[in-house]
Structure 1
Amino acid sequence: MISHVFIGVNDFDRAFTFYSAVMGELGHKLKFCERDKPWAAWMAEGMPRPLLLIGRPYDGNSAERGNGQMVALLAPDRRSVDNAYASALANKGSCEGPPGLRAHYHPDYYGAYFRDSEGNKICVCCHDPVTR
């Protein structure tokens, strides 16, 4: 259903550091980074789509976050949610809700919410039950 998600940023270097850390914790690989544009994209290993891209807006205007907009990234397990959240906060992100179960979504929903270094709201979540 999703081909790619593009998140506009103003400080590319700061955002690249932030997303490199978070995407690495989720096991995603850098597909490309073109600092002269600037833009960069990550993808799951061996999968051409979907992509998560960051970069300066094409129209040359300042990137602005949208109220009510959020990008939710799928984590392979709950530990990855915890690690991505910790990486986000260690790289100039801010907490919007620490990792934990949110049974009001469904019994196995485990997620964390944070703002990136530009103020965009991001969720990292896992829908799988704990395996013993």
Structure 2
Amino acid sequence: MIDHIEIKVKNLNLSFIFYKEILASIDYHLIKTRKENERVTAYGFGRDTRVYFWIAQGTQEIISKAHIAFAVNSQVMVDNFYKIALLNKAISNGEPGFRKHYNNHYYAAYIIDLDKNNMEVVCRL
């Protein structure tokens, strides 16, 4: 079981705005914002106050290219995440839809974030 995930980004200010918007669409909320000496932003899920997803300032040379999939409970949440991500300058990497090559109940969308990470949101119906 994964406890939490952290990704490094080139510009924490831009990524903060980006992730705040798209993660809110799937019930993640901001728990911790960066302070002068801390270059991280942290998000929890639902009513939980625990951190599950961290964004930390990296260097300009960082090229992460991670794949992270967020589980949600409905197709509507997948669709909303995708739309909000594109409005916040994400690049489409797969429109919302069923991925029958995984199984008949796998509904997902994929975006590329500001640092070229592949973010997926999936609902297993």
Question: TM-score, normalised on structure 1?
Answer: 0.86
After superposition, the Cα gap between the structure-2 partners of 1:95 and 1:53, relative to the gap in structure 1 and judged at 3 Å, is: same
After superposition, the Cα gap between the structure-2 partners of 1:93 and 1:126, relative to the gap in structure 1 and judged at 3 Å, is: same
1:5 maps to a residue whose letter is: I
The one of 112, 116, 121 equivalent to 1:119 is 116
SS at match of 2:108: strand
**8 Å contact kept, 1:113–1:121:** yes
Per the alignment, residue 82 of structure 2 pairs with 85
Separation of aligned partners in 1, 2:63 and 2:8 = 7
Separation of aligned partners in 2, 1:121 and 1:54 = 15
Unaligned regions of 5+ residues in structure 2, if any?
none
String of CA shifts for 1:58-79, please: whole Å, max 9, x gaps: xx5732123xx30001122110
Question: TM-score, normalised on structure 2?
Answer: 0.90
1:43 aligned to 2:44? yes
Runs of 4+ in 1 over 6 A off after TM superposition: none
Per the alignment, residue 54 of structure 1 pairs with 55
What is the aligned length?
124
Q: Say what the alpha-carbon RMSD is for the aligned residues.
A: 1.6
**How far off its partner does 1:47 sit?**
2.8
1:11 aligned to 2:8? no
Unaligned regions of 5+ residues in structure 1, if any?
none
Report % sequence identity: 28
**8 Å contact kept, 1:91–1:117:** no
